[in-house]
A = this chain, B = another copy of it.
Amino acid sequence: MRWSKSHLHTLRDAPADAEIPSHKLLSRGGYIRKVAPGIYTYGNLMLRSLRKLERIIREELDKRGAQELLMPMVHPAELWQETNRWKEMGDGLLKFKNRNAHEFCLGATHEEVITDYVRKDVKSYRDLPVNLYQIQTKYRDEIRPRFGLMRGREFIMKDAYSFDVDPPAALKSYQLMYDAYQAIFDRLGLHYRIVEADAGNIGGSQTHEFQVLAEAGEDHLMVCDDQGQTQCQFAANIEVAPARDSQTASVDASSALPLEKFATPGLKTIAALAKSTGLKESQLVKTMFFSSNPGTDPQNKALMPIAVCLRGDDEVNPVKLKNALGLTNPPLLLTDEEVRQVTGASPGSCGPVGLKIPIYFDHALEGRQNFIVGANEDDFHLKNVNLDRDVKTAGQFKGFKDLRLARAGDQCPRCGKGRYVSKRGIEVGHVFYLGTKYSKAMNASFLAQDGSSHPIEMGCYGIGVTRTLQAAVEQSHDADGIIWPRAIAPFDVALVVLDPDDDEVMQNASIVERELQSRGFDTFMDDRAERPGVKFKDADLLGFPLRLTIGGRGLKEGIVEVVTRHDKKMEKVPLEQVVDHATRCLQHSGQKSSRAPA
Protein backbone atom coordinates (compact mmCIF):
# COMPACT_ATOMS: atom_id res chain seq x y z
CA MET A 1 0.00 0.00 0.00
CA ARG A 2 1.05 3.57 -0.54
CA TRP A 3 0.35 6.38 1.86
CA SER A 4 -0.72 8.77 -0.91
CA LYS A 5 -3.59 6.42 -1.77
CA SER A 6 -4.67 5.67 1.75
CA HIS A 7 -6.80 7.36 4.34
CA LEU A 8 -4.22 7.50 7.11
CA HIS A 9 -3.85 10.53 9.33
CA THR A 10 -1.46 10.51 12.25
CA LEU A 11 -1.90 12.91 15.15
CA ARG A 12 0.75 14.94 16.92
CA ASP A 13 -1.17 14.76 20.20
CA ALA A 14 -3.05 11.94 21.79
CA PRO A 15 -6.67 12.54 22.83
CA ALA A 16 -7.09 13.86 26.36
CA ASP A 17 -8.69 10.66 27.65
CA ALA A 18 -5.76 8.45 26.62
CA GLU A 19 -3.94 7.63 29.85
CA ILE A 20 -1.58 4.80 28.94
CA PRO A 21 1.06 4.56 26.20
CA SER A 22 -0.73 1.99 24.04
CA HIS A 23 -3.95 4.00 23.99
CA LYS A 24 -1.99 7.14 23.12
CA LEU A 25 0.09 5.50 20.39
CA LEU A 26 -2.80 3.66 18.75
CA SER A 27 -4.79 6.90 18.68
CA ARG A 28 -1.90 8.98 17.37
CA GLY A 29 -1.09 6.40 14.70
CA GLY A 30 -4.66 6.44 13.37
CA TYR A 31 -5.14 2.81 14.38
CA ILE A 32 -8.25 3.59 16.39
CA ARG A 33 -10.67 6.51 16.65
CA LYS A 34 -13.18 6.92 19.44
CA VAL A 35 -16.87 6.97 18.43
CA ALA A 36 -18.23 6.99 21.99
CA PRO A 37 -16.69 6.03 25.35
CA GLY A 38 -15.40 2.48 25.00
CA ILE A 39 -16.52 2.28 21.35
CA TYR A 40 -14.00 2.64 18.54
CA THR A 41 -13.60 2.56 14.80
CA TYR A 42 -10.61 0.45 13.76
CA GLY A 43 -8.69 2.03 10.90
CA ASN A 44 -7.21 0.05 8.05
CA LEU A 45 -3.88 -0.51 9.84
CA MET A 46 -5.61 -1.83 12.93
CA LEU A 47 -7.73 -4.12 10.82
CA ARG A 48 -4.62 -5.57 9.22
CA SER A 49 -3.19 -6.43 12.61
CA LEU A 50 -6.55 -7.81 13.63
CA ARG A 51 -6.70 -10.09 10.57
CA LYS A 52 -3.21 -11.41 11.23
CA LEU A 53 -4.09 -12.18 14.81
CA GLU A 54 -7.38 -13.81 13.80
CA ARG A 55 -5.52 -15.96 11.34
CA ILE A 56 -3.04 -17.20 13.93
CA ILE A 57 -5.92 -18.00 16.28
CA ARG A 58 -7.82 -19.88 13.57
CA GLU A 59 -4.78 -21.89 12.54
CA GLU A 60 -4.02 -23.05 16.07
CA LEU A 61 -7.64 -23.87 16.88
CA ASP A 62 -8.47 -25.58 13.58
CA LYS A 63 -5.31 -27.65 13.93
CA ARG A 64 -6.69 -28.98 17.21
CA GLY A 65 -10.05 -29.90 15.74
CA ALA A 66 -12.07 -26.89 16.84
CA GLN A 67 -14.61 -25.64 14.32
CA GLU A 68 -15.56 -22.07 13.65
CA LEU A 69 -19.11 -20.79 13.48
CA LEU A 70 -20.74 -17.42 14.03
CA MET A 71 -23.39 -16.68 16.61
CA PRO A 72 -25.46 -13.51 16.73
CA MET A 73 -24.73 -10.40 18.78
CA VAL A 74 -28.36 -9.93 19.79
CA HIS A 75 -29.70 -12.63 22.12
CA PRO A 76 -33.27 -13.29 23.26
CA ALA A 77 -33.85 -12.94 27.01
CA GLU A 78 -35.35 -16.44 27.21
CA LEU A 79 -31.98 -18.14 26.79
CA TRP A 80 -30.32 -16.09 29.50
CA GLN A 81 -33.27 -16.65 31.80
CA GLU A 82 -32.74 -20.39 31.58
CA THR A 83 -29.41 -20.05 33.39
CA ASN A 84 -30.57 -17.14 35.59
CA ARG A 85 -27.70 -15.03 34.24
CA TRP A 86 -30.30 -12.58 32.92
CA LYS A 87 -30.36 -11.46 36.57
CA GLU A 88 -26.91 -12.54 37.74
CA MET A 89 -24.93 -10.62 35.14
CA GLY A 90 -26.12 -7.30 36.53
CA ASP A 91 -25.93 -4.02 34.65
CA GLY A 92 -22.94 -5.05 32.53
CA LEU A 93 -25.36 -7.02 30.37
CA LEU A 94 -26.99 -4.50 28.09
CA LYS A 95 -30.70 -5.30 27.83
CA PHE A 96 -33.34 -3.74 25.64
CA LYS A 97 -36.79 -4.30 24.23
CA ASN A 98 -37.38 -4.39 20.50
CA ARG A 99 -40.33 -2.76 18.74
CA ASN A 100 -42.50 -5.77 19.54
CA ALA A 101 -41.62 -5.41 23.26
CA HIS A 102 -39.59 -8.62 23.31
CA GLU A 103 -36.59 -8.57 25.60
CA PHE A 104 -33.10 -9.01 24.22
CA CYS A 105 -29.54 -8.36 25.29
CA LEU A 106 -26.28 -7.69 23.49
CA GLY A 107 -24.04 -10.74 23.72
CA ALA A 108 -21.49 -10.21 26.47
CA THR A 109 -20.54 -13.87 26.18
CA HIS A 110 -22.19 -16.79 24.41
CA GLU A 111 -22.52 -19.78 26.77
CA GLU A 112 -26.31 -19.72 26.56
CA VAL A 113 -26.46 -19.39 22.78
CA ILE A 114 -23.91 -22.12 22.10
CA THR A 115 -25.50 -24.49 24.61
CA ASP A 116 -28.82 -23.95 22.89
CA TYR A 117 -27.18 -24.59 19.52
CA VAL A 118 -25.57 -27.81 20.65
CA ARG A 119 -28.50 -29.23 22.63
CA LYS A 120 -30.65 -29.11 19.52
CA ASP A 121 -28.36 -31.41 17.57
CA VAL A 122 -26.37 -33.53 19.99
CA LYS A 123 -28.26 -36.68 20.85
CA SER A 124 -25.71 -39.35 21.56
CA TYR A 125 -22.24 -39.87 22.94
CA ARG A 126 -21.27 -40.49 19.31
CA ASP A 127 -21.90 -36.78 18.61
CA LEU A 128 -19.23 -35.82 21.16
CA PRO A 129 -16.66 -34.36 21.66
CA VAL A 130 -17.39 -31.05 19.97
CA ASN A 131 -15.35 -27.88 20.18
CA LEU A 132 -16.89 -24.80 18.56
CA TYR A 133 -15.54 -21.28 18.40
CA GLN A 134 -16.27 -17.91 16.91
CA ILE A 135 -14.55 -14.57 16.50
CA GLN A 136 -17.28 -12.08 17.19
CA THR A 137 -18.00 -8.60 18.47
CA LYS A 138 -19.16 -8.49 22.07
CA TYR A 139 -20.66 -5.75 24.17
CA ARG A 140 -20.37 -5.17 27.87
CA ASP A 141 -21.82 -2.05 29.37
CA GLU A 142 -18.71 -1.01 31.28
CA ILE A 143 -19.62 1.73 33.71
CA ARG A 144 -16.26 3.47 33.21
CA PRO A 145 -14.63 2.40 29.96
CA ARG A 146 -10.97 3.40 29.79
CA PHE A 147 -7.59 2.57 28.30
CA GLY A 148 -8.90 2.34 24.73
CA LEU A 149 -9.47 -1.25 23.67
CA MET A 150 -8.24 -2.53 27.02
CA ARG A 151 -11.51 -1.98 28.83
CA GLY A 152 -13.92 -1.07 26.10
CA ARG A 153 -17.63 -1.59 25.74
CA GLU A 154 -17.65 -3.01 22.23
CA PHE A 155 -14.76 -5.36 21.51
CA ILE A 156 -13.86 -8.45 19.58
CA MET A 157 -13.38 -11.80 21.26
CA LYS A 158 -12.58 -15.30 20.21
CA ASP A 159 -14.74 -17.55 22.31
CA ALA A 160 -14.64 -21.33 22.16
CA TYR A 161 -16.80 -23.93 23.87
CA SER A 162 -16.08 -27.61 24.39
CA PHE A 163 -18.64 -30.36 24.92
CA ASP A 164 -17.65 -33.74 26.30
CA VAL A 165 -19.11 -36.90 27.78
CA ASP A 166 -17.38 -36.83 31.16
CA PRO A 167 -14.95 -34.82 33.31
CA PRO A 168 -11.78 -36.62 32.13
CA ALA A 169 -12.73 -35.96 28.49
CA ALA A 170 -13.62 -32.35 29.35
CA LEU A 171 -10.24 -31.86 31.02
CA LYS A 172 -8.57 -33.26 27.90
CA SER A 173 -10.40 -30.64 25.86
CA TYR A 174 -9.34 -28.05 28.43
CA GLN A 175 -5.72 -29.07 28.06
CA LEU A 176 -5.99 -28.93 24.26
CA MET A 177 -7.19 -25.34 24.43
CA TYR A 178 -4.59 -24.48 27.05
CA ASP A 179 -1.98 -25.77 24.60
CA ALA A 180 -3.58 -23.85 21.72
CA TYR A 181 -3.44 -20.64 23.74
CA GLN A 182 0.21 -21.21 24.55
CA ALA A 183 0.91 -21.75 20.86
CA ILE A 184 -1.01 -18.60 19.91
CA PHE A 185 0.64 -16.29 22.42
CA ASP A 186 4.03 -17.81 21.68
CA ARG A 187 3.57 -17.03 17.98
CA LEU A 188 2.63 -13.44 18.79
CA GLY A 189 5.95 -12.86 20.47
CA LEU A 190 4.44 -11.65 23.74
CA HIS A 191 5.81 -11.89 27.26
CA TYR A 192 3.03 -13.48 29.24
CA ARG A 193 2.25 -15.66 32.23
CA ILE A 194 -0.34 -18.33 32.72
CA VAL A 195 -1.90 -17.74 36.12
CA GLU A 196 -4.44 -19.36 38.39
CA ALA A 197 -7.57 -17.31 38.53
CA ASP A 198 -11.13 -16.94 39.67
CA ALA A 199 -13.98 -18.14 37.51
CA GLY A 200 -16.05 -15.02 38.19
CA ASN A 201 -19.74 -15.44 37.54
CA ILE A 202 -19.14 -17.72 34.58
CA GLY A 203 -18.98 -20.72 36.88
CA GLY A 204 -16.57 -23.60 36.76
CA SER A 205 -13.91 -25.12 38.86
CA GLN A 206 -10.64 -25.06 36.91
CA THR A 207 -9.44 -21.96 35.20
CA HIS A 208 -6.29 -20.22 34.03
CA GLU A 209 -5.68 -16.73 32.77
CA PHE A 210 -3.16 -15.77 30.12
CA GLN A 211 -1.69 -12.47 31.26
CA VAL A 212 0.51 -10.23 29.16
CA LEU A 213 2.94 -8.54 31.54
CA ALA A 214 2.82 -4.75 31.39
CA GLU A 215 2.94 -1.91 33.88
CA ALA A 216 -0.45 -0.61 32.83
CA GLY A 217 -2.16 -3.97 33.31
CA GLU A 218 -5.35 -3.85 35.32
CA ASP A 219 -4.69 -7.23 36.89
CA HIS A 220 -2.44 -7.70 39.87
CA LEU A 221 -0.47 -10.95 39.77
CA MET A 222 1.55 -12.82 42.36
CA VAL A 223 4.43 -14.71 40.83
CA CYS A 224 6.88 -17.07 42.54
CA ASP A 225 10.39 -15.63 42.44
CA ASP A 226 12.11 -19.00 42.70
CA GLN A 227 14.81 -19.12 40.06
CA GLY A 228 16.43 -22.26 41.43
CA GLN A 229 16.70 -25.62 39.75
CA THR A 230 12.97 -26.33 39.99
CA GLN A 231 12.05 -22.90 38.59
CA CYS A 232 8.67 -22.97 40.25
CA GLN A 233 6.32 -21.41 37.68
CA PHE A 234 3.58 -20.63 40.17
CA ALA A 235 1.64 -17.50 39.29
CA ALA A 236 -1.83 -16.43 40.32
CA ASN A 237 -4.14 -13.52 39.97
CA ILE A 238 -4.16 -11.73 43.32
CA GLU A 239 -7.90 -12.43 43.38
CA VAL A 240 -7.13 -16.04 44.20
CA ALA A 241 -3.43 -16.06 45.21
CA PRO A 242 -3.18 -18.08 48.44
CA ALA A 243 -1.83 -15.88 51.23
CA ARG A 244 0.83 -17.51 53.37
CA ASP A 245 3.10 -15.56 55.64
CA SER A 246 6.69 -16.12 54.73
CA GLN A 247 7.47 -16.72 58.40
CA THR A 248 5.02 -18.95 60.19
CA ALA A 249 3.71 -17.03 63.19
CA SER A 250 4.76 -18.52 66.50
CA VAL A 251 1.64 -19.51 68.37
CA ASP A 252 1.00 -17.23 71.29
CA ALA A 253 0.89 -19.57 74.28
CA SER A 254 0.05 -17.00 76.93
CA SER A 255 -3.13 -17.73 78.87
CA ALA A 256 -6.28 -15.70 78.49
CA LEU A 257 -6.36 -12.47 80.48
CA PRO A 258 -9.56 -10.85 81.73
CA LEU A 259 -11.55 -9.02 79.03
CA GLU A 260 -11.25 -5.27 79.49
CA LYS A 261 -13.02 -2.34 77.84
CA PHE A 262 -10.98 0.81 77.39
CA ALA A 263 -11.75 4.25 75.97
CA THR A 264 -10.38 5.14 72.52
CA PRO A 265 -11.94 8.54 71.89
CA GLY A 266 -11.54 9.67 68.28
CA LEU A 267 -9.43 6.63 67.34
CA LYS A 268 -11.24 5.51 64.24
CA THR A 269 -8.49 3.88 62.23
CA ILE A 270 -6.07 1.03 62.75
CA ALA A 271 -3.21 3.50 62.29
CA ALA A 272 -4.53 5.79 65.05
CA LEU A 273 -5.14 2.84 67.34
CA ALA A 274 -1.65 1.49 66.70
CA LYS A 275 -0.11 4.85 67.50
CA SER A 276 -2.14 5.20 70.68
CA THR A 277 -1.52 1.65 71.95
CA GLY A 278 2.10 1.45 70.83
CA LEU A 279 1.35 -1.83 69.03
CA LYS A 280 2.13 -2.59 65.39
CA GLU A 281 -0.82 -2.52 63.01
CA SER A 282 -0.23 -6.22 62.38
CA GLN A 283 -0.78 -6.91 66.07
CA LEU A 284 -4.23 -5.36 66.00
CA VAL A 285 -7.37 -7.09 64.67
CA LYS A 286 -9.81 -5.29 62.42
CA THR A 287 -13.38 -6.25 61.69
CA MET A 288 -15.10 -5.66 58.34
CA PHE A 289 -18.82 -6.06 57.59
CA PHE A 290 -20.39 -7.33 54.37
CA SER A 291 -23.81 -8.38 53.16
CA SER A 292 -24.05 -11.98 52.03
CA ASN A 293 -27.26 -11.28 50.11
CA PRO A 294 -26.47 -12.60 46.62
CA GLY A 295 -28.32 -9.62 45.10
CA THR A 296 -29.79 -11.69 42.30
CA ASP A 297 -33.36 -11.24 43.42
CA PRO A 298 -34.37 -7.58 43.23
CA GLN A 299 -37.30 -8.34 45.59
CA ASN A 300 -35.00 -9.53 48.32
CA LYS A 301 -33.39 -6.50 49.94
CA ALA A 302 -32.48 -8.24 53.22
CA LEU A 303 -29.14 -7.09 54.64
CA MET A 304 -27.76 -10.55 55.65
CA PRO A 305 -24.70 -9.11 57.45
CA ILE A 306 -21.49 -11.04 58.14
CA ALA A 307 -18.28 -9.99 59.89
CA VAL A 308 -14.71 -10.69 58.77
CA CYS A 309 -11.82 -10.33 61.21
CA LEU A 310 -8.27 -10.03 59.99
CA ARG A 311 -4.91 -8.61 60.92
CA GLY A 312 -4.81 -4.84 61.20
CA ASP A 313 -2.44 -4.46 58.27
CA ASP A 314 -4.22 -6.92 55.95
CA GLU A 315 -6.95 -6.30 53.39
CA VAL A 316 -9.98 -8.45 52.70
CA ASN A 317 -9.83 -10.20 49.33
CA PRO A 318 -13.39 -9.82 48.02
CA VAL A 319 -13.05 -12.75 45.61
CA LYS A 320 -11.86 -15.13 48.32
CA LEU A 321 -14.73 -13.94 50.50
CA LYS A 322 -17.19 -14.42 47.63
CA ASN A 323 -15.99 -18.00 47.19
CA ALA A 324 -16.06 -18.66 50.94
CA LEU A 325 -19.69 -17.50 50.99
CA GLY A 326 -20.59 -19.42 47.82
CA LEU A 327 -21.78 -16.27 46.07
CA THR A 328 -21.74 -15.43 42.37
CA ASN A 329 -20.51 -11.87 42.80
CA PRO A 330 -18.27 -10.36 45.52
CA PRO A 331 -20.34 -9.27 48.53
CA LEU A 332 -20.98 -5.56 49.15
CA LEU A 333 -19.36 -3.76 52.08
CA LEU A 334 -21.93 -2.45 54.54
CA THR A 335 -22.37 1.29 54.77
CA ASP A 336 -21.54 3.05 58.05
CA GLU A 337 -25.25 3.30 58.75
CA GLU A 338 -25.76 -0.42 58.15
CA VAL A 339 -22.81 -1.24 60.40
CA ARG A 340 -24.40 0.82 63.16
CA GLN A 341 -27.68 -1.09 62.72
CA VAL A 342 -25.82 -4.37 63.15
CA THR A 343 -23.35 -3.42 65.90
CA GLY A 344 -24.66 -0.28 67.53
CA ALA A 345 -21.42 1.54 66.77
CA SER A 346 -19.61 3.18 63.91
CA PRO A 347 -17.14 1.04 61.90
CA GLY A 348 -14.06 2.34 63.78
CA SER A 349 -15.31 0.93 67.06
CA CYS A 350 -16.61 -2.46 65.99
CA GLY A 351 -15.51 -5.99 66.78
CA PRO A 352 -16.78 -9.57 66.83
CA VAL A 353 -17.57 -9.87 70.52
CA GLY A 354 -21.26 -10.30 71.20
CA LEU A 355 -22.37 -10.19 67.57
CA LYS A 356 -25.15 -12.56 66.54
CA ILE A 357 -24.09 -12.75 62.89
CA PRO A 358 -21.77 -15.15 61.03
CA ILE A 359 -18.13 -14.33 61.85
CA TYR A 360 -15.17 -15.37 59.67
CA PHE A 361 -11.53 -15.14 60.80
CA ASP A 362 -8.61 -14.90 58.41
CA HIS A 363 -5.97 -17.62 58.67
CA ALA A 364 -3.36 -15.10 59.78
CA LEU A 365 -5.18 -14.73 63.11
CA GLU A 366 -4.84 -18.41 63.98
CA GLY A 367 -3.34 -18.91 67.46
CA ARG A 368 -3.70 -15.31 68.46
CA GLN A 369 -4.52 -14.63 72.15
CA ASN A 370 -5.45 -11.54 74.14
CA PHE A 371 -6.02 -9.29 71.15
CA ILE A 372 -7.70 -5.91 70.74
CA VAL A 373 -10.94 -5.31 68.81
CA GLY A 374 -13.65 -2.64 68.76
CA ALA A 375 -16.21 -2.82 71.59
CA ASN A 376 -19.31 -2.19 69.43
CA GLU A 377 -19.71 1.02 71.39
CA ASP A 378 -18.52 4.32 69.96
CA ASP A 379 -15.05 5.32 71.19
CA PHE A 380 -14.39 2.10 73.04
CA HIS A 381 -12.31 -1.00 72.33
CA LEU A 382 -11.85 -4.30 74.10
CA LYS A 383 -8.47 -5.78 75.02
CA ASN A 384 -7.54 -9.36 76.00
CA VAL A 385 -10.09 -10.79 73.60
CA ASN A 386 -9.87 -14.57 73.21
CA LEU A 387 -11.60 -16.50 70.52
CA ASP A 388 -12.97 -19.42 72.49
CA ARG A 389 -14.14 -17.39 75.43
CA ASP A 390 -15.36 -14.20 73.74
CA VAL A 391 -16.25 -14.90 70.13
CA LYS A 392 -17.29 -18.51 69.70
CA THR A 393 -19.89 -18.15 72.46
CA ALA A 394 -22.46 -16.55 70.12
CA GLY A 395 -22.37 -19.76 68.10
CA GLN A 396 -21.91 -18.10 64.72
CA PHE A 397 -18.15 -18.41 64.42
CA LYS A 398 -17.47 -19.87 60.98
CA GLY A 399 -13.82 -20.77 61.41
CA PHE A 400 -10.52 -19.66 59.90
CA LYS A 401 -10.22 -19.17 56.16
CA ASP A 402 -7.81 -17.62 53.72
CA LEU A 403 -9.58 -14.30 53.22
CA ARG A 404 -6.82 -11.73 52.87
CA LEU A 405 -5.11 -10.27 49.84
CA ALA A 406 -1.71 -11.84 49.30
CA ARG A 407 1.31 -9.57 49.35
CA ALA A 408 4.72 -9.46 47.73
CA GLY A 409 7.02 -11.40 50.01
CA ASP A 410 4.40 -14.00 50.96
CA GLN A 411 5.49 -17.61 50.68
CA CYS A 412 4.90 -19.44 47.39
CA PRO A 413 2.20 -22.06 48.04
CA ARG A 414 3.58 -24.44 45.42
CA CYS A 415 7.30 -24.73 46.07
CA GLY A 416 7.31 -23.28 49.58
CA LYS A 417 10.77 -21.85 48.87
CA GLY A 418 10.12 -18.86 46.66
CA ARG A 419 8.33 -15.68 47.62
CA TYR A 420 5.71 -13.72 45.81
CA VAL A 421 6.80 -10.98 43.47
CA SER A 422 4.12 -8.53 42.40
CA LYS A 423 3.47 -8.03 38.67
CA ARG A 424 0.88 -6.23 36.59
CA GLY A 425 -0.83 -8.11 33.79
CA ILE A 426 -3.33 -7.60 30.99
CA GLU A 427 -5.68 -10.56 30.79
CA VAL A 428 -5.76 -11.59 27.14
CA GLY A 429 -6.95 -15.18 27.46
CA HIS A 430 -8.91 -17.29 29.85
CA VAL A 431 -9.73 -21.00 29.92
CA PHE A 432 -12.50 -22.42 32.08
CA TYR A 433 -13.60 -25.91 32.91
CA LEU A 434 -17.32 -25.34 33.39
CA GLY A 435 -18.60 -28.78 34.28
CA THR A 436 -22.37 -29.04 33.89
CA LYS A 437 -23.49 -25.63 35.14
CA TYR A 438 -24.94 -24.61 31.78
CA SER A 439 -25.90 -28.00 30.43
CA LYS A 440 -27.92 -28.82 33.53
CA ALA A 441 -29.65 -25.44 33.60
CA MET A 442 -30.45 -25.66 29.88
CA ASN A 443 -31.07 -29.37 29.72
CA ALA A 444 -28.31 -30.10 27.22
CA SER A 445 -27.80 -33.80 27.55
CA PHE A 446 -26.75 -36.86 25.61
CA LEU A 447 -27.45 -40.57 25.71
CA ALA A 448 -24.53 -42.69 26.84
CA GLN A 449 -23.71 -46.04 25.31
CA ASP A 450 -25.89 -47.75 27.94
CA GLY A 451 -28.85 -45.58 27.02
CA SER A 452 -28.72 -43.40 30.13
CA SER A 453 -29.01 -39.62 29.80
CA HIS A 454 -26.33 -37.24 31.13
CA PRO A 455 -25.72 -33.51 31.08
CA ILE A 456 -22.87 -32.58 28.74
CA GLU A 457 -19.55 -31.57 30.32
CA MET A 458 -18.52 -28.13 29.12
CA GLY A 459 -15.55 -25.82 28.97
CA CYS A 460 -15.26 -22.28 27.65
CA TYR A 461 -12.21 -20.47 26.37
CA GLY A 462 -11.80 -16.79 25.53
CA ILE A 463 -9.22 -14.59 23.89
CA GLY A 464 -9.69 -10.83 23.95
CA VAL A 465 -8.74 -10.24 20.34
CA THR A 466 -8.74 -6.45 20.26
CA ARG A 467 -7.36 -6.34 23.78
CA THR A 468 -4.48 -8.59 22.77
CA LEU A 469 -3.52 -6.14 20.03
CA GLN A 470 -3.40 -3.26 22.45
CA ALA A 471 -1.59 -5.39 25.05
CA ALA A 472 1.09 -6.08 22.44
CA VAL A 473 1.55 -2.34 22.00
CA GLU A 474 1.49 -1.70 25.73
CA GLN A 475 4.27 -4.23 26.16
CA SER A 476 6.26 -3.27 23.10
CA HIS A 477 6.82 0.42 22.44
CA ASP A 478 9.32 3.17 23.11
CA ALA A 479 9.10 6.94 23.44
CA ASP A 480 8.75 7.36 19.67
CA GLY A 481 6.05 4.86 18.97
CA ILE A 482 4.90 1.31 18.60
CA ILE A 483 7.25 -1.65 18.12
CA TRP A 484 4.98 -4.29 16.58
CA PRO A 485 5.85 -7.96 16.95
CA ARG A 486 6.20 -9.03 13.34
CA ALA A 487 3.40 -11.63 13.59
CA ILE A 488 0.76 -8.94 14.03
CA ALA A 489 2.39 -5.87 12.47
CA PRO A 490 0.03 -4.28 9.92
CA PHE A 491 2.96 -4.18 7.51
CA ASP A 492 6.39 -5.78 7.64
CA VAL A 493 8.25 -2.96 5.97
CA ALA A 494 7.94 0.83 5.88
CA LEU A 495 9.43 1.99 2.59
CA VAL A 496 10.24 5.64 3.17
CA VAL A 497 10.80 7.42 -0.14
CA LEU A 498 12.59 10.70 0.44
CA ASP A 499 12.22 12.18 -3.04
CA PRO A 500 8.95 10.84 -4.44
CA ASP A 501 9.03 13.46 -7.23
CA ASP A 502 12.32 12.05 -8.51
CA ASP A 503 11.42 9.48 -11.19
CA GLU A 504 14.56 7.46 -10.67
CA VAL A 505 14.01 7.24 -6.93
CA MET A 506 10.40 6.18 -7.36
CA GLN A 507 11.38 3.65 -9.98
CA ASN A 508 13.92 2.04 -7.68
CA ALA A 509 11.58 2.21 -4.71
CA SER A 510 8.87 0.53 -6.76
CA ILE A 511 11.22 -2.28 -7.75
CA VAL A 512 12.18 -2.88 -4.11
CA GLU A 513 8.49 -2.73 -3.15
CA ARG A 514 7.55 -5.28 -5.80
CA GLU A 515 10.37 -7.65 -4.91
CA LEU A 516 9.56 -7.54 -1.21
CA GLN A 517 5.91 -8.21 -2.00
CA SER A 518 6.82 -11.11 -4.25
CA ARG A 519 8.63 -12.64 -1.29
CA GLY A 520 5.43 -12.40 0.74
CA PHE A 521 6.20 -9.29 2.78
CA ASP A 522 3.60 -6.58 3.37
CA THR A 523 4.97 -3.18 2.43
CA PHE A 524 3.75 0.31 3.16
CA MET A 525 5.36 3.03 1.07
CA ASP A 526 5.47 6.56 2.43
CA ASP A 527 5.36 8.44 -0.88
CA ARG A 528 3.96 11.66 0.54
CA ALA A 529 5.43 15.05 -0.33
CA GLU A 530 6.58 15.57 3.23
CA ARG A 531 9.92 16.43 4.85
CA PRO A 532 12.15 13.46 5.80
CA GLY A 533 11.82 14.32 9.50
CA VAL A 534 8.04 14.02 9.35
CA LYS A 535 8.31 10.67 7.57
CA PHE A 536 10.80 9.22 10.02
CA LYS A 537 8.69 10.33 12.97
CA ASP A 538 5.61 8.71 11.45
CA ALA A 539 7.51 5.51 10.64
CA ASP A 540 8.63 5.29 14.26
CA LEU A 541 5.11 6.01 15.49
CA LEU A 542 3.45 3.40 13.27
CA GLY A 543 6.06 0.87 14.31
CA PHE A 544 6.47 -1.63 11.46
CA PRO A 545 9.43 -3.96 12.11
CA LEU A 546 11.70 -2.70 9.32
CA ARG A 547 12.22 0.67 7.69
CA LEU A 548 13.96 1.10 4.33
CA THR A 549 14.82 4.65 3.37
CA ILE A 550 15.31 5.28 -0.32
CA GLY A 551 16.35 8.76 -1.45
CA GLY A 552 18.24 10.56 -4.19
CA ARG A 553 21.36 11.09 -2.12
CA GLY A 554 21.63 7.46 -1.02
CA LEU A 555 20.96 6.14 -4.49
CA LYS A 556 23.87 8.24 -5.85
CA GLU A 557 26.06 6.10 -3.64
CA GLY A 558 23.95 3.06 -4.51
CA ILE A 559 22.76 2.50 -0.97
CA VAL A 560 19.54 2.17 0.98
CA GLU A 561 19.25 2.76 4.72
CA VAL A 562 17.80 -0.14 6.68
CA VAL A 563 16.60 0.44 10.25
CA THR A 564 15.20 -2.24 12.53
CA ARG A 565 12.43 -0.67 14.60
CA HIS A 566 12.97 -2.50 17.88
CA ASP A 567 16.62 -1.49 18.39
CA LYS A 568 16.82 1.37 15.86
CA LYS A 569 20.03 -0.12 14.46
CA MET A 570 20.79 1.42 11.09
CA GLU A 571 22.76 -0.19 8.28
CA LYS A 572 23.62 1.17 4.86
CA VAL A 573 23.00 -1.60 2.36
CA PRO A 574 23.79 -1.62 -1.36
CA LEU A 575 20.60 -1.26 -3.39
CA GLU A 576 21.03 -4.59 -5.14
CA GLN A 577 21.36 -6.43 -1.81
CA VAL A 578 18.64 -4.65 0.08
CA VAL A 579 15.83 -7.11 -0.56
CA ASP A 580 17.98 -10.05 0.58
CA HIS A 581 19.11 -8.07 3.57
CA ALA A 582 15.54 -7.10 4.49
CA THR A 583 14.47 -10.72 4.14
CA ARG A 584 17.15 -11.80 6.59
CA CYS A 585 16.25 -9.06 9.05
CA LEU A 586 12.56 -9.95 8.96
CA GLN A 587 13.20 -13.64 9.36
CA HIS A 588 15.17 -12.90 12.49
CA SER A 589 13.04 -10.05 13.75
CA GLY A 590 10.40 -12.12 15.49
CA GLN A 591 10.99 -11.08 19.09
CA LYS A 592 11.10 -14.19 21.14
CA SER A 593 8.10 -14.81 23.29
CA SER A 594 8.58 -15.79 26.86
CA ARG A 595 6.78 -17.66 29.53
CA ALA A 596 9.91 -17.77 31.66
CA PRO A 597 9.77 -15.92 34.98
CA ALA A 598 9.81 -12.28 33.95
Contacts and interface: CB of A to CB of B under 8 A. Distances in A.
A99 interface: yes
B69 A44 contact: yes
**Number of this chain's copies in the complex:** 2
A143 B47 contact: no
B75 A5 contact: no
A70 B41 CA distance: 6
A6 interface: yes
Nearest to A102: B36
Interface in A1-48: 5-7, 9, 30, 33, 35-36, 39-44, 46-47
A91 B79 CA distance: 25
A100 interface: yes
Contacts of A141: 98-99
A43 B67 CA distance: 9
Given A100-B143, A137-B137, A153-B74, A47 B69 contact: yes
7 contacts: A7-B118, A7-B121, A7-B127, A7-B130, A36-B104, A40-B72, A98-B153
The residue in A7, A35, A102 that gathers the most chain B C-beta atoms within 10 A of its C-beta is: A7
A94 B154 CA distance: 17
A65 B1 CA distance: 10
A273 interface: no
A96 B94 contact: yes
B44 A67 contact: yes
Given A39-B74, A67-B44, A71-B41, A91 B99 contact: yes
Given A116-B35, A130-B7, A43 B69 contact: yes
Interface string A132-160: 10000101010100000000011000000
Q: Nearest 4 pairs between A and B by C-beta?
A: A96-B96, A9-B121, A36-B76, A42-B70
A73 B79 CA distance: 22
Contacts of A92: 99
Contacts of A519: none
A350 B28 CA distance: 67
Given A7-B121, A35-B76, A35-B113, A70 B99 contact: no
